[in-house]
Amino acid sequence: MSKKINVLPVILCGGSGSRLWPLSRTNFPKQFLVLSGNASLFQQAISRFYGIVNSDIQIKKPLIVTNEEHRFIVLEQLRELKEISAQLILEPEARNTAPALTLAALQATYAGEDPVLVVTPADQIIKDEDAFNKSIKKAIQVAELGSIAVLGIAPDSPETGFGYIMRQGNAGKYGEYNVKQFVEKPDLVIAQRYLENPNFTWNSGIFVLKASVWLDALKFFRSDIYSATQLSFEKLSKDGQFIRPEKKLFNKIPSESIDYAVIESCPNSKFQINVIELNAGWNDLGSWHAVWKDSEKDGLNNFASGDVIMENTNNSYINASHRLVCASDVNNLIIVETADAILIANRETSQSVKKIFSKLQSHKREERVSHRKVFRPWGWFDVIDEGEKFKVKKIGVNPGASLSLQRHLKRAEHWVVIKGTAEILNNNQVLTLTENQSTYIPIGIKHRLSNPGSVPLEIIEVQSGSYLGEDDIERFEDIYGRK
């Protein structure tokens, strides 16, 4: 019996939230959005690996590399998958994909093993999972022999937003081609030329290679990134399923992508690199135009979600989250409505949303960073209204979850239960409240809100005081390790 190939899925779960603003934000980037089906892009990315198991392949527990700020969103979305568990490497700061993959490779080889890493972004659509599985299995076989395999997408349009791979020669045993060169994002004329040439594919950003091969290649091409990442990894700390590289050392790592650091230098080097075609309905959803293109549309080429009324509207994408949105006599528009922002853009040039995102950053607008509804490890809160010396929130607490034991020095709070059962510690008094019951938390009093029940708890919180910022919290105990 042949030995099984150990395969470690590595999910790169970063992102700034700029391309699909205002649905995506810095604290809630696009991989956590549900844009296709009933699962988020991240949930789809991690779930599809469980279709590639066969007699030759053994899938190890996935490794997710994500930002420290996103850890509880990842855990909540993993919890919804129920039967899937994973380890999380938490980056204290974004340093691009090369350091992220290096952390994963160091963790993969820490106990003397050398699995094949299947490295994928968390924010792509794959419609034909059977075709994906077949291509990945071929790539795993190629990688087991010591090569680097990258999945290439046969282009169906002259796309100027993707990098391209140029292949050469004949296909090998597993359908792999040698890579001649990688090509940067072309202009429209050159992209049209690539479209007509079968030797060019889009670069999917999905790589399959042994952990040791990545580390050897990184040492060869970018020893500075390797050394700095290794120093940070050697001083890591572990907290349950969280793996944290040392923060100060990690922040000194040069920021670089997998492609620029290693992959684009591999052709004509000592590192063998192959491309395997992926024909599986792939889409990286890199713009609202791409989302529109991937969506199911009506007879006038429109996609609508939410409370939307259209009249003489064509070729448009309209997403209403909170309010009625009406469109009349318009064409080729992107309209995205959220609780705190509305985007209206030309569909064909919707890549320019990144410029709006940059302006929001320069103006220090909170709408760039977070939604009005903010997720926490215990649940979420939504700021319904606020004004001078008052703020009204709707708060949701997951079953069995609890907020920290805390107090506020500048605000008082009134809590009214609207759904479920609340257990409240209020100045050493323990209260159990159900729907329509309430309590008052004076300034400076220690308190805690918990959900002892099996259904979500929802309350209305009315804050009043001289300062209502989120940083007016003094924590005494917290099961999530926050300070």
Tens-place pLDDT, residues 106-154: 999 998 999 999 999 999 999 999 999 999 999 999 999 999 999 999 9
Residue with tokens 């996609």: 303
**Mean pLDDT over the full length of the chain:** 94
Q: Is the pLDDT of residue 322 over 80?
A: yes
**Residue 80 binned pLDDT confidence (cut-offs 50, 70, 90):** confident
Buried b (16+ CB within 10 A) or exposed e, 151-165: bbbebeebbeebbbb
Tokens linked to 88: 């999380």
What pLDDT is attached to residue 265? Answer: 96
**Of residues 347, 376, 343, 338, the one with CA closest to residue 360:** 343
| Cβ burial, residue 449 (10 Å; 0-12/13-18/19+) | buried
What pLDDT is attached to residue 103? Answer: 98
**Of residues 148, 151, 85, the one with CA closest to residue 117:** 148
Over residues 431-459, the mean pLDDT reads 97
Tell me the percentage of the chain whose pLDDT exceeds 70. 99
What pLDDT is attached to residue 174? Answer: 95
Strands 333-337 and 317-320: parallel
Tens-place pLDDT, residues 36-59: 778 999 999 999 988 776 778 889
**Residue 206 binned pLDDT confidence (cut-offs 50, 70, 90):** very high
Task: Quote the pTM value.
Answer: 0.88
Contacts of 206 (CB under 8 A, 6+ apart): 118, 119, 120, 121, 124, 150, 151, 278
Distance CA 143, CA 210 (A): 6
What pLDDT is attached to residue 241? Answer: 86
Tens-place pLDDT, residues 275-321: 999 999 999 888 999 999 999 999 999 999 999 999 999 999 999 99
What pLDDT is attached to residue 83? Answer: 79
Cα separation of the two ends of the chain: 53
Distance CA 248, CA 244 (A): 11
Tens-place pLDDT, residues 91-102: 999 999 999 999
Over residues 424-435, the mean pLDDT reads 95
Question: How many Cα atoms within 13 Å fall on the side-chain side of residue 171?
Answer: 10
**Residue 26 binned pLDDT confidence (cut-offs 50, 70, 90):** very high
Contact 18, 102 (CB under 8 A): no
**Residue 1 binned pLDDT confidence (cut-offs 50, 70, 90):** very low
**Residue 239 binned pLDDT confidence (cut-offs 50, 70, 90):** confident
Over residues 190-218, the mean pLDDT reads 96
Contact 328, 334 (CB under 8 A): no
Tokens linked to 467: 């300062």
What count of other Cβ atoms lies within 10 Å of the Cβ of residue 126? 22
Q: Is the pLDDT of residue 461 over 50?
A: yes
**Long-range residue pairs from 293-297, CB within 8 A, at least 24 positions apart, any chain:** 294/35, 294/36, 294/125, 295/36
Strands 438-441 and 411-419: antiparallel
